[in-house]
Amino acid sequence: MAASIAVEESSVQARMARPSRFGDKAFEWLTLAMALTVVVLVVLIGWQLWRGSTLAIQKFGFHFLTTSTWDPVAEQFGALPFIYGTLVSSLIALLIAVPLGIATAAYLTELAPLWIRQPLVSLIEMLAAIPSVILGLWGIFVMIPWLRDYPFPFLKRFFGWIPLFSGPIYGPCMFAGGIIIAIMILPIITSVSREILRSVPDLQREAAYALGATRWEATRIAVLSYAKKGLFGAVILGLGRALGETMAVTMVIGNTPQIAASLFKPGYTLASVIANEFTEATTDMYLQALFEVGLVLFGTTILVNLLAQLLLRTIAVKSATRAVQ
Protein backbone atom coordinates (compact mmCIF):
# COMPACT_ATOMS: atom_id res chain seq x y z
CA MET A 1 0.00 0.00 0.00
CA ALA A 2 2.59 2.46 1.14
CA ALA A 3 4.80 1.40 -1.68
CA SER A 4 2.11 2.03 -4.29
CA ILE A 5 1.55 5.55 -2.97
CA ALA A 6 5.27 6.17 -3.15
CA VAL A 7 5.30 4.96 -6.74
CA GLU A 8 2.40 7.21 -7.65
CA GLU A 9 4.05 10.22 -6.01
CA SER A 10 7.28 9.69 -7.84
CA SER A 11 5.46 9.37 -11.15
CA VAL A 12 3.68 12.66 -10.47
CA GLN A 13 7.02 14.25 -9.71
CA ALA A 14 8.45 12.86 -12.88
CA ARG A 15 5.59 14.18 -14.90
CA MET A 16 5.92 17.64 -13.37
CA ALA A 17 9.64 17.77 -13.86
CA ARG A 18 9.46 16.65 -17.48
CA PRO A 19 10.18 19.78 -19.50
CA SER A 20 9.08 18.65 -22.90
CA ARG A 21 5.43 19.51 -22.44
CA PHE A 22 4.41 21.98 -25.11
CA GLY A 23 1.58 23.65 -23.11
CA ASP A 24 3.84 24.41 -20.17
CA LYS A 25 6.52 25.83 -22.41
CA ALA A 26 4.05 28.00 -24.28
CA PHE A 27 2.64 29.27 -21.01
CA GLU A 28 6.12 30.06 -19.75
CA TRP A 29 7.03 31.96 -22.90
CA LEU A 30 3.75 33.81 -22.92
CA THR A 31 4.10 35.05 -19.36
CA LEU A 32 7.72 35.92 -19.95
CA ALA A 33 6.73 37.99 -22.98
CA MET A 34 4.10 39.79 -20.92
CA ALA A 35 6.57 40.54 -18.15
CA LEU A 36 9.13 41.75 -20.69
CA THR A 37 6.57 44.13 -22.22
CA VAL A 38 6.54 46.08 -18.97
CA VAL A 39 10.32 46.27 -18.93
CA VAL A 40 10.46 47.31 -22.57
CA LEU A 41 7.82 50.00 -21.95
CA VAL A 42 9.77 51.50 -19.06
CA VAL A 43 13.01 51.47 -21.05
CA LEU A 44 11.31 53.02 -24.09
CA ILE A 45 9.76 55.81 -22.01
CA GLY A 46 13.13 56.57 -20.43
CA TRP A 47 14.91 56.48 -23.77
CA GLN A 48 12.34 58.74 -25.44
CA LEU A 49 12.56 61.28 -22.61
CA TRP A 50 16.34 61.22 -22.87
CA ARG A 51 16.25 61.67 -26.62
CA GLY A 52 13.74 64.51 -26.34
CA SER A 53 15.96 66.44 -23.96
CA THR A 54 19.50 65.97 -25.30
CA LEU A 55 19.91 69.66 -26.22
CA ALA A 56 18.89 70.78 -22.75
CA ILE A 57 21.07 68.15 -21.11
CA GLN A 58 24.05 69.31 -23.14
CA LYS A 59 23.41 72.98 -22.42
CA PHE A 60 22.63 72.87 -18.70
CA GLY A 61 24.31 69.64 -17.65
CA PHE A 62 24.19 68.92 -13.96
CA HIS A 63 23.19 72.54 -13.23
CA PHE A 64 19.68 71.64 -14.35
CA LEU A 65 19.30 69.74 -11.07
CA THR A 66 20.96 72.30 -8.83
CA THR A 67 19.76 75.73 -10.00
CA SER A 68 16.47 77.45 -9.25
CA THR A 69 15.85 79.83 -12.14
CA TRP A 70 13.06 78.91 -14.53
CA ASP A 71 12.99 81.64 -17.15
CA PRO A 72 11.39 80.71 -20.50
CA VAL A 73 12.17 84.18 -21.90
CA ALA A 74 15.91 84.04 -21.28
CA GLU A 75 15.87 80.24 -21.74
CA GLN A 76 17.53 79.61 -18.41
CA PHE A 77 16.18 76.45 -16.86
CA GLY A 78 16.82 74.86 -13.48
CA ALA A 79 14.54 72.24 -11.96
CA LEU A 80 15.58 72.25 -8.30
CA PRO A 81 12.43 73.99 -6.95
CA PHE A 82 10.28 71.46 -8.81
CA ILE A 83 12.20 68.49 -7.42
CA TYR A 84 11.96 70.00 -3.95
CA GLY A 85 8.24 70.69 -4.35
CA THR A 86 7.54 67.16 -5.58
CA LEU A 87 9.37 65.55 -2.67
CA VAL A 88 8.00 67.86 0.03
CA SER A 89 4.38 67.73 -1.13
CA SER A 90 4.56 63.92 -1.38
CA LEU A 91 6.09 63.72 2.09
CA ILE A 92 3.31 65.87 3.57
CA ALA A 93 0.78 63.66 1.82
CA LEU A 94 2.32 60.48 3.23
CA LEU A 95 2.51 61.92 6.75
CA ILE A 96 -1.22 62.57 6.61
CA ALA A 97 -2.49 59.65 4.53
CA VAL A 98 -0.45 56.75 5.96
CA PRO A 99 -1.65 56.88 9.58
CA LEU A 100 -5.17 57.68 8.41
CA GLY A 101 -5.23 54.92 5.80
CA ILE A 102 -3.76 52.17 7.94
CA ALA A 103 -5.88 53.08 10.96
CA THR A 104 -9.00 53.02 8.76
CA ALA A 105 -7.98 49.63 7.37
CA ALA A 106 -7.36 48.28 10.88
CA TYR A 107 -10.75 49.55 12.03
CA LEU A 108 -12.47 47.99 9.01
CA THR A 109 -10.91 44.55 9.43
CA GLU A 110 -10.51 44.27 13.20
CA LEU A 111 -12.99 46.43 15.05
CA ALA A 112 -15.88 47.72 12.96
CA PRO A 113 -19.30 46.09 13.35
CA LEU A 114 -20.06 43.98 10.30
CA TRP A 115 -22.96 46.10 9.04
CA ILE A 116 -20.81 49.22 8.78
CA ARG A 117 -17.91 47.64 6.91
CA GLN A 118 -19.32 47.41 3.40
CA PRO A 119 -20.80 50.94 3.28
CA LEU A 120 -17.51 52.39 4.55
CA VAL A 121 -15.48 50.44 2.00
CA SER A 122 -17.75 51.65 -0.79
CA LEU A 123 -17.36 55.23 0.40
CA ILE A 124 -13.59 54.97 0.36
CA GLU A 125 -13.65 53.47 -3.11
CA MET A 126 -15.88 56.31 -4.24
CA LEU A 127 -13.25 58.78 -3.05
CA ALA A 128 -10.87 57.18 -5.55
CA ALA A 129 -13.39 57.71 -8.33
CA ILE A 130 -13.53 61.51 -7.97
CA PRO A 131 -11.77 63.06 -10.99
CA SER A 132 -8.70 65.01 -9.93
CA VAL A 133 -9.84 68.20 -11.66
CA ILE A 134 -13.01 68.15 -9.54
CA LEU A 135 -10.93 67.68 -6.40
CA GLY A 136 -8.78 70.60 -7.52
CA LEU A 137 -11.78 72.89 -8.00
CA TRP A 138 -13.11 71.80 -4.62
CA GLY A 139 -9.65 72.63 -3.30
CA ILE A 140 -9.77 76.19 -4.68
CA PHE A 141 -13.32 77.00 -3.63
CA VAL A 142 -13.82 75.05 -0.40
CA MET A 143 -10.63 73.63 1.07
CA ILE A 144 -8.29 76.60 0.65
CA PRO A 145 -10.65 79.26 2.07
CA TRP A 146 -11.32 76.99 5.04
CA LEU A 147 -7.65 76.18 5.60
CA ARG A 148 -6.77 79.86 5.30
CA ASP A 149 -9.38 80.94 7.83
CA TYR A 150 -9.09 78.23 10.51
CA PRO A 151 -6.30 75.60 10.66
CA PHE A 152 -3.50 77.70 9.14
CA PRO A 153 -3.88 80.72 11.48
CA PHE A 154 -4.13 78.25 14.39
CA LEU A 155 -0.87 76.56 13.36
CA LYS A 156 0.77 79.92 12.84
CA ARG A 157 -0.32 81.19 16.25
CA PHE A 158 0.95 78.24 18.23
CA PHE A 159 3.77 76.91 16.04
CA GLY A 160 4.73 80.09 14.18
CA TRP A 161 8.15 79.98 15.87
CA ILE A 162 8.95 76.96 13.68
CA PRO A 163 9.96 78.22 10.21
CA LEU A 164 7.62 75.61 8.67
CA PHE A 165 4.56 77.53 9.88
CA SER A 166 5.80 81.10 9.61
CA GLY A 167 5.14 83.93 7.19
CA PRO A 168 2.01 85.33 5.57
CA ILE A 169 -0.87 83.02 4.64
CA TYR A 170 -2.21 83.49 1.08
CA GLY A 171 -4.13 80.26 0.65
CA PRO A 172 -2.60 78.31 -2.22
CA CYS A 173 0.62 76.82 -0.86
CA MET A 174 2.81 73.75 -0.47
CA PHE A 175 0.77 72.62 2.54
CA ALA A 176 -2.50 72.78 0.60
CA GLY A 177 -0.85 70.79 -2.21
CA GLY A 178 0.23 68.10 0.24
CA ILE A 179 -3.25 67.85 1.74
CA ILE A 180 -4.88 67.45 -1.69
CA ILE A 181 -2.41 64.66 -2.55
CA ALA A 182 -3.15 63.04 0.81
CA ILE A 183 -6.85 62.93 -0.06
CA MET A 184 -6.03 61.42 -3.44
CA ILE A 185 -3.76 58.65 -2.16
CA LEU A 186 -5.88 57.82 0.89
CA PRO A 187 -8.19 55.38 -0.97
CA ILE A 188 -5.37 53.33 -2.46
CA ILE A 189 -3.49 53.09 0.84
CA THR A 190 -6.68 52.16 2.70
CA SER A 191 -7.90 49.56 0.17
CA VAL A 192 -4.55 47.83 -0.21
CA SER A 193 -3.95 47.86 3.57
CA ARG A 194 -7.40 46.40 4.15
CA GLU A 195 -6.76 43.54 1.74
CA ILE A 196 -3.45 42.85 3.44
CA LEU A 197 -4.91 42.88 6.95
CA ARG A 198 -7.72 40.62 5.80
CA SER A 199 -5.19 38.12 4.57
CA VAL A 200 -3.62 37.82 8.03
CA PRO A 201 -4.61 34.30 9.20
CA ASP A 202 -7.13 34.18 12.05
CA LEU A 203 -4.79 31.80 13.83
CA GLN A 204 -2.56 34.81 14.52
CA ARG A 205 -5.34 36.67 16.28
CA GLU A 206 -6.55 33.60 18.16
CA ALA A 207 -3.03 32.85 19.37
CA ALA A 208 -2.66 36.40 20.67
CA TYR A 209 -6.01 36.28 22.49
CA ALA A 210 -5.10 32.86 23.89
CA LEU A 211 -2.04 34.43 25.45
CA GLY A 212 -4.27 36.99 27.15
CA ALA A 213 -3.66 39.91 24.77
CA THR A 214 -6.11 42.80 24.74
CA ARG A 215 -7.73 43.79 21.46
CA TRP A 216 -5.19 46.58 20.96
CA GLU A 217 -2.29 44.25 21.72
CA ALA A 218 -3.64 41.57 19.41
CA THR A 219 -4.10 44.09 16.58
CA ARG A 220 -0.70 45.62 17.12
CA ILE A 221 1.40 42.51 17.64
CA ALA A 222 -0.44 39.75 15.83
CA VAL A 223 -1.95 41.68 12.91
CA LEU A 224 -0.15 44.95 12.13
CA SER A 225 3.30 43.67 12.91
CA TYR A 226 2.66 40.47 10.96
CA ALA A 227 1.48 42.47 7.95
CA LYS A 228 4.24 45.05 8.15
CA LYS A 229 5.83 44.20 4.84
CA GLY A 230 2.54 44.30 2.97
CA LEU A 231 1.53 47.59 4.59
CA PHE A 232 4.83 49.05 3.51
CA GLY A 233 3.98 47.99 -0.01
CA ALA A 234 0.68 49.87 0.28
CA VAL A 235 2.58 52.99 1.30
CA ILE A 236 4.92 52.63 -1.70
CA LEU A 237 1.93 52.38 -4.03
CA GLY A 238 0.54 55.57 -2.47
CA LEU A 239 3.91 57.28 -2.82
CA GLY A 240 4.09 56.39 -6.49
CA ARG A 241 0.76 58.04 -7.03
CA ALA A 242 1.72 61.06 -4.95
CA LEU A 243 4.88 61.76 -6.95
CA GLY A 244 3.05 61.77 -10.27
CA GLU A 245 -0.13 63.51 -9.17
CA THR A 246 -0.70 66.52 -11.40
CA MET A 247 -3.98 68.28 -11.97
CA ALA A 248 -5.40 68.76 -8.48
CA VAL A 249 -2.01 69.73 -7.07
CA THR A 250 -1.44 72.33 -9.78
CA MET A 251 -4.70 73.95 -8.87
CA VAL A 252 -3.88 74.50 -5.19
CA ILE A 253 -0.08 74.61 -4.80
CA GLY A 254 0.39 78.16 -6.10
CA ASN A 255 2.80 77.26 -8.94
CA THR A 256 5.79 79.36 -7.92
CA PRO A 257 9.22 77.83 -8.50
CA GLN A 258 10.87 78.66 -5.18
CA ILE A 259 12.33 76.83 -2.23
CA ALA A 260 10.86 78.29 0.92
CA ALA A 261 11.12 77.06 4.50
CA SER A 262 7.48 77.90 5.18
CA LEU A 263 4.80 75.46 4.08
CA PHE A 264 2.44 78.45 3.71
CA LYS A 265 4.46 79.68 0.73
CA PRO A 266 3.47 78.58 -2.78
CA GLY A 267 5.52 75.81 -4.39
CA TYR A 268 5.64 73.88 -7.64
CA THR A 269 6.02 70.23 -8.66
CA LEU A 270 7.70 68.47 -11.59
CA ALA A 271 4.44 67.07 -12.93
CA SER A 272 2.69 70.45 -12.58
CA VAL A 273 5.20 72.43 -14.61
CA ILE A 274 4.94 69.96 -17.48
CA ALA A 275 1.15 70.08 -17.42
CA ASN A 276 1.19 73.87 -17.21
CA GLU A 277 3.72 74.81 -19.82
CA PHE A 278 3.99 72.00 -22.37
CA THR A 279 1.08 73.04 -24.61
CA GLU A 280 2.32 76.60 -25.19
CA ALA A 281 6.07 76.02 -25.36
CA THR A 282 7.18 77.13 -28.81
CA THR A 283 10.99 77.22 -28.77
CA ASP A 284 13.11 74.07 -28.97
CA MET A 285 15.13 74.69 -25.83
CA TYR A 286 11.98 75.37 -23.81
CA LEU A 287 10.39 72.10 -24.99
CA GLN A 288 13.59 70.20 -24.35
CA ALA A 289 13.81 71.60 -20.83
CA LEU A 290 10.25 70.39 -20.18
CA PHE A 291 11.19 66.96 -21.55
CA GLU A 292 14.12 66.95 -19.16
CA VAL A 293 11.75 67.77 -16.30
CA GLY A 294 9.86 64.64 -17.36
CA LEU A 295 13.09 62.67 -17.31
CA VAL A 296 13.89 64.01 -13.83
CA LEU A 297 10.42 63.03 -12.60
CA PHE A 298 10.91 59.58 -14.11
CA GLY A 299 14.28 59.26 -12.39
CA THR A 300 13.00 60.63 -9.08
CA THR A 301 10.16 58.11 -9.03
CA ILE A 302 12.51 55.20 -9.71
CA LEU A 303 15.04 56.43 -7.16
CA VAL A 304 12.46 56.96 -4.41
CA ASN A 305 11.02 53.51 -5.07
CA LEU A 306 14.47 51.92 -4.89
CA LEU A 307 15.21 53.72 -1.63
CA ALA A 308 11.89 52.53 -0.24
CA GLN A 309 12.68 48.92 -1.22
CA LEU A 310 16.04 49.24 0.48
CA LEU A 311 14.40 50.62 3.60
CA LEU A 312 11.92 47.77 3.55
CA ARG A 313 14.73 45.23 3.39
CA THR A 314 16.56 46.80 6.34
CA ILE A 315 13.38 46.78 8.38
CA ALA A 316 12.73 43.14 7.46
CA VAL A 317 16.27 42.12 8.44
CA LYS A 318 16.08 44.08 11.71
CA SER A 319 12.78 42.56 12.78
CA ALA A 320 14.03 39.10 11.81
CA THR A 321 17.11 39.46 14.00
CA ARG A 322 14.94 40.78 16.82
CA ALA A 323 12.66 37.78 16.50
CA VAL A 324 15.66 35.46 16.76
CA GLN A 325 16.93 37.25 19.85
Partner 1 sequence: MRQFGGMMKFQLPKILGLIVALGLSATASAQMMINGAGATFPYPIYSKWFDEYAKVDPSVRFNYQSIGSGGGQKQILAQTVDFGASDGPMSDDNLAKAPGKILHIPTVAGAVVISYNLDGNPALKLDGETVADIFLGKIKKWNDPKIAASNPGAKLPDKEIVVVHRSDGSGTTFIFTDYLSKISPEWKGKAGNNTSVNWPTGIGGKGNEGVSGQVKQTPGSIGYVELIYAIQNKMPYADVKNAAGQFVKPTIESVTAALETANIPDDFRFSMTNDSGSNAYPIAGATWLLVYEQQKDPAKGKKLVEFLKWALTKGEGMAKDLHYAPLPDAVQQRVLKRIDEIKS
Residue from 81, 85, 187, 266 that binds partner 1 (CB under 8 A)? 266
Instruction: Give the dihedral of Cα atoms 75, 64, 277, 241; nearest 10 deg.
Output: 180
**Closest CA relative to residue 239, chosen from 185, 198, 190, 169:** 185
By CB under 8 A, is residue 140 in contact with partner 1? yes
Give the Cα separation of 198 and 210 in Å (integer): 20
Cα–Cα distances (Å) from 306 to 37, 38, 158, 309, in that order, read 21, 17, 38, 5
Judged by beta carbon, residue 141 or residue 216, the one nearer partner 1 is: 141
Q: Cβ of residue 172: shortest distance to partner 1, in angstroms?
A: 5
275 interacts with partner 1 by CB under 8 A: yes
User: Looking at 138, 277, 299, 312, which residue binds partner 1 (CB under 8 A)?
Assistant: 277
* 70 is a contact residue toward partner 1 (CB under 8 A): yes
d(CA 253, CA 260): 13
- Torsion 189-195-199-205 (CA) sign: positive
- Of the listed pieces 11-19, 87-95, 105-113, 139-147, which binds partner 1 according to CB under 8 A? 139-147
Q: What is the DSSP letter of 165?
A: G
What is the contact mask toward partner 1 in residues 209 to 248, using x (rule: CB under 8 A)?
Answer: -------------------------------xx--xxxx-
* Residues 6 or more apart whose Cβ sits within 8 Å of residue 284: 55
Q: Are 140 and 179 in contact (CB under 8 A)?
A: no
Q: How far is the CB of 90 from partner 1 (least distance, A)?
A: 12
Stretch that binds partner 1, among 94-102, 154-162, 206-214, 279-287 (CB under 8 A): 279-287
55 sits near partner 1 (criterion: CB under 8 A): no
Q: List residues binding partner 1 (CB under 8 A).
A: 69-74, 76, 137, 140-141, 144-145, 168, 170-172, 240-241, 244-247, 250-251, 254-256, 266, 268, 271-272, 275-283, 287
